[in-house]
Amino acid sequence: MSKTIIEKIISRASGKDAKVGERVWVKLDLVAMRDFGGPNVVLDFRKHFPQRHVYDSKKVAITFDLHIPPRNEKVAKNQQILRGFAAEEGVHLFDINTGIGQHILLEHGLIKPGSVVVGTDSHMNLLGAVGSFATGVGTTDIVSGLALGKLWFRVPPTIKIILEGRPQNGVLPKDVILYLLKFFKTDGLNYLAVEFFGEYVESLPLSGRITLASMITEMSGKIGFIATDMRIKKELSFTEDISPDPDATYMKEYRFDISKIEPLIALPHSPDNVVAVSEVEGTQIDEVFMGSCTNGREDDFRMARNIIKDREVKVRTIAVPATHSVMINLLKEGIITDFAYAGIVIPNPSCALCTTGHPGILAPGEKLLSTSNRNYVGKIGKGGLIHLVSPLTAAASAVEGKITDPRRFL
Amino acid sequence: MKLSGNVWKFGDDIDTDQIYPGKYLPLTDKKEMGTHAFEGVPDIKDFSAKVRSGDIAIAGRNFGSGSSREHAPIAIRESGIQAVLAISFSRIFYRNAINIGLPIMEIDIDTYNSITQGDKIEIDTETGELRVNGKSFKAFPLSGLEHDILVHNGLINYIKEVML
Ligand code: SF4
């Protein structure tokens, strides 16, 4: 039978002809955990399976994404638990000088097209951008996965999203995914897998594909896939690839002309509360954050630099590369230098202001423009107001001190 | 499993912050977690004082959206609620509930509308049969595997007893 990407991956990893709606046991190619959530996994694993080691030490990875270096004793102890476990079990450990888990795993060759990956972050599924079935799960799942090397999954139906046309100047993948959020809403893709197609998707480098795939989570989707093409194979030196069968069955097909999209912004407190940037231009803001797993790669900062170079920011601005190697590249290209001259604060790579607990928290009533993926109530400090934008809109607004349409600078 | 209890009725979009407010995340004592179940639902007061062990929750669309933490289904179970029926569940909550052994089933909108707060409800998790006020309804039963995991009281026990 002809298969979509998810059906192909689950069939391979379960050894069964997986059909939509079925529950099957799937072999895991990688089990990941992080500094938040990971310590509970370790404690539960030791409690429930005291006699066992992890199923395959080469297929387990611990990443420190969030509070690095540790900000207090509790976090330091949590990281100690994880370092101890990594040493005992001989699993991969990416310590405080690395960055956001999914990106680190990708950079270290642990993610391949067609692989099955579970982790403790709700945005693991951005790895669908390279054709990996990665998904965020709870503690019990990770503990079970460590013991068994398998987990049960329900095979989701797949929908097809075709993105056609060329983007207007100043419109980035973030604007495109915000447009889709406005259309599908936050529960519009519940239980569903997505496959992205179309000339726009093909034109995107890894960074843009990741931005698209990462925010499938905000629509409650399981995962957003992009079939492996030559461009990605080359960029990531993949020898594997994955694509759907030509006559695979989709639950539904949607077609969007992206040439009509303008720079967009998600207003507080929901990622689908989307309007055009031009509608809210001039609104005073207090802080700008550039980074996160959605918009923390080289291309994102290159875009921002086009506006930032030789200017100064008028509000406090924090830029955080997704990984250490992204930071090195930004240093080599002089982007960090330009940002520093512009007055931007540049902490070490991490998830940073995607979650509370990182320096940069808002006071009540303060407005943040963020290139991250969620703007729920209280996410970055009680009473703070989070707005989601592209790196270009973030940069334009930072240098103006108010919400600004980036097309003014282009 | 055949279960019966009195209904607690909830609306649409009950997210994990309403089920278990984030400020209680540091708690590790499960009984104590249960005393904060549904504390964030705006129109329900003193849930933990009023809920009776064996009550059954009925909810609308998109129950359990938000964070991937397992505190939400654990707090529900520990509060005394023995099962949750909803029109739809967010996918992570759905998995977590089954994995910790909290019975859940999906129902259609007509069934949801026919049930009111305080009704006595009987459910059969295997067949999906429901009886409320002398009338019969049908929920979408869990798959064989999900039901097996439930009957073993969660994924960890299932793995120990069946798979290892
Ligand atoms: S940046 Fe935010 S969403 Fe992305 S991995 Fe980190 S915490 Fe998760």
Helix (H) or strand (E) holding B146: helix B144-151
- Counting atoms of ligand 1 from 1, which one is nearest the CA of A291? 1
Neighbours of B23 (CB within 10 A): 12
Task: Tell whether ligand 1 has an atom less than 6 A from the beta carbon of residue A13.
Answer: no
Counts of helices then strands in chain B (DSSP H, E): 8, 7
Kindly report the backbone phi and psi dihedral angles of residue A267, in degrees, each rounded to the nearest multiple of 5, phi listed first: -80, 165
pLDDT digits (tens, 9 = 90+) for B121-158: 999 999 999 999 889 999 999 999 999 999 999 999 99
Answer yes or no: do B95 and A138 touch at CB < 8 A.
yes
Task: Identify which of A35, A63, A65 to mutate to test ligand 1's pocket (most ligand atoms within 8 A of the CB).
Answer: A65
A273 plus A405 within the same structural domain: yes
The dihedral of CA B144, B147, B149, B151: what is its sign? negative
- Of B15, B125, B4, B155, the C-alpha closest to B71 is B15
Strand order in the sheet with A116-119: A92-94, A60-63, A30-34, A116-119, A133-136
pLDDT at A243: 98
A147 plus A25 within the same structural domain: yes
Counts of helices then strands in chain A (DSSP H, E): 13, 17
Residue B45 in this model has a pLDDT that exceeds 90? no
Phi-psi map region of B145: left, alpha, beta (phi>0 left; psi -120 to 50 alpha): alpha
A9 plus A47 within the same structural domain: yes
- Residue tagged 């993105």 (tokens): A163
Answer yes or no: do B145 and A48 touch at CB < 8 A.
no
- A342 to A68, A88, A283, A367: CA distances (angstroms): 25, 46, 21, 20
Q: Does B164 touch chain A (CB under 8 A)?
A: yes
A299 plus A313 within the same structural domain: yes
Question: Beta strands B2-9 and B120-124: pairing type?
Answer: antiparallel
At residue A259 the predicted structure's pLDDT band, cuts being 50, 70 and 90, is very high
Mean of pLDDT values over B154-164: 95
Looking at this predicted complex, what is its ipTM?
Answer: 0.91
- Of B68, B105, B67, B65, the C-alpha closest to B86 is B105
- Of A262, A250, A319, the C-alpha closest to A290 is A319
Phi-psi map region of A109: left, alpha, beta (phi>0 left; psi -120 to 50 alpha): left
Residue B51 in this model has a pLDDT that exceeds 90? yes
Kindly report the protein residue whose alpha carbon is nearest to atom 6 of ligand 1: A351
Residue of B nearest to A377 (CA): B17
Q: Does B20 touch chain A (CB under 8 A)?
A: no
- Of A363, A368, A369, the C-alpha closest to A382 is A363
Give CB contacts under 8 A, 24+ apart, made by A49-55.
A49/A143, A49/A146, A49/A147, A52/A147, A53/A89, A54/A89, A54/A91, A54/A146, A54/A147, A55/A28, A55/A145, A55/A146, A55/A147, A55/A148, A55/A149
| Share above pLDDT 70 across residues of chain A, in percent, rounded to a whole number | 100
Which residues face A284 on adjacent strands? A402
At residue B43 the predicted structure's pLDDT band, cuts being 50, 70 and 90, is confident
At residue B53 the predicted structure's pLDDT band, cuts being 50, 70 and 90, is very high
B2, B49 Cβ separation under 8 angstroms:
no
Neighbours of A101 (CB within 10 A): 29
Q: What tokens does A240 get? A: 């594997």
- A54 to A59, A60, A79, B162: CA distances (angstroms): 9, 8, 19, 18
Q: For residue A30, how far is its CA from the centre of ligand 1 (angstroms)?
A: 18
Residue A356 in this model has a pLDDT that exceeds 80? no
pLDDT at B116: 96
Q: How far from each other are the two terminal CA atoms of chain B, in whole angstroms?
A: 24
Mean model confidence pLDDT for chain A:
96
Cα Rg, chain B, nearest whole Å: 15
Close Cβ partners of A370 (under 8 Å, ≥ 6 residues apart): A288, A289, A292, A353, A354, A380, A386, A387, A388, A389, A394
Last residue of a domain, one of A260, A280, A306: A260
Last residue of a domain, one of A235, A260, A285: A260
Which residues face B137 on adjacent strands? B130
| Share above pLDDT 90 across residues of chain B, in percent, rounded to a whole number | 82
At residue B44 the predicted structure's pLDDT band, cuts being 50, 70 and 90, is confident
pLDDT at B164: 87
The CATH number covering residue B104 comes to: 3.20.19.10
pLDDT at A361: 93
Q: What angle do CA B92, B96, B102 make, to 5 degrees?
A: 135
Longest C-alpha distance within chain A, in Å? 63
A286 plus A328 within the same structural domain: yes
Number of domains in chain A: 3
At residue A357 the predicted structure's pLDDT band, cuts being 50, 70 and 90, is confident
pLDDT at B29: 86
pLDDT at A237: 95
Residue A406 in this model has a pLDDT that exceeds 80? yes
pLDDT at B55: 97
B66, B90 Cβ separation under 8 angstroms:
yes
pLDDT digits (tens, 9 = 90+) for A235-244: 999 999 999 9
A171 plus A225 within the same structural domain: yes
Domain that holds residue A223: 158-260
Neighbours of A305 (CB within 10 A): 21
Neighbours of A17 (CB within 10 A): 12
At residue B67 the predicted structure's pLDDT band, cuts being 50, 70 and 90, is confident
At residue A342 the predicted structure's pLDDT band, cuts being 50, 70 and 90, is very high
Cβ-nearest to B146 among A23, A147, A376: A23
E strands, A65-210, in order: 92-94, 116-119, 133-136, 150-154, 158-164, 193-197
Answer yes or no: do B91 and A378 touch at CB < 8 A.
no
At residue B22 the predicted structure's pLDDT band, cuts being 50, 70 and 90, is confident
| Share above pLDDT 90 across residues of chain A, in percent, rounded to a whole number | 93
Separation CA A185–CA A84 (nearest Å): 42
Residue A377 in this model has a pLDDT that exceeds 90? no
Residue B66 in this model has a pLDDT that exceeds 80? no
Residue A184 CA to its chain's centroid (Å): 19
pLDDT digits (tens, 9 = 90+) for A308-319: 999 999 999 999
Mean of pLDDT values over A207-228: 97
Global pTM reads 0.95
Q: What is the DSSP letter of A250?
A: -
Answer yes or no: do B99 and A141 touch at CB < 8 A.
yes
A20 plus A55 within the same structural domain: yes
The CATH number covering residue A125 comes to: 3.30.499.10
Cα Rg, chain A, nearest whole Å: 21
Task: Tell whether ligand 1 has an atom less than 6 A from the beta carbon of residue A380.
Answer: no
pLDDT digits (tens, 9 = 90+) for B73-103: 999 999 999 999 999 999 889 999 999 999 9
Helix (H) or strand (E) holding A142: helix A139-148
Mean of pLDDT values over A376-396: 93
Last residue of a domain, one of A93, A125, A154: A154
Task: Tell whether ligand 1 has an atom less than 6 A from the beta carbon of residue A293.
Answer: yes
Residue A255 in this model has a pLDDT that exceeds 80? yes
Q: Does B163 touch chain A (CB under 8 A)?
A: yes
Cβ-nearest to A23 among B69, B143, B160: B143
pLDDT digits (tens, 9 = 90+) for A85-126: 999 999 999 999 999 999 999 999 999 999 999 999 989 999
- Residue tagged 């398998």 (tokens): A150
At residue B117 the predicted structure's pLDDT band, cuts being 50, 70 and 90, is very high
A255 plus A272 within the same structural domain: no
Task: Identify which of A33, A34, A68, A123 to mutate to test ligand 1's pocket (most ligand atoms within 8 A of the CB).
Answer: A123
Q: What is the dihedral of CA A129, A133, A139, A140, to 10 degrees?
A: 170
Mean model confidence pLDDT for chain B:
94
Number of domains in chain B: 1
At residue A189 the predicted structure's pLDDT band, cuts being 50, 70 and 90, is very high
pLDDT at A355: 82
pLDDT at A409: 96
Q: What is the DSSP letter of A408?
A: G
A170 plus A290 within the same structural domain: no
Domain that holds residue B88: 2-163
Residue of B nearest to A222 (CA): B91
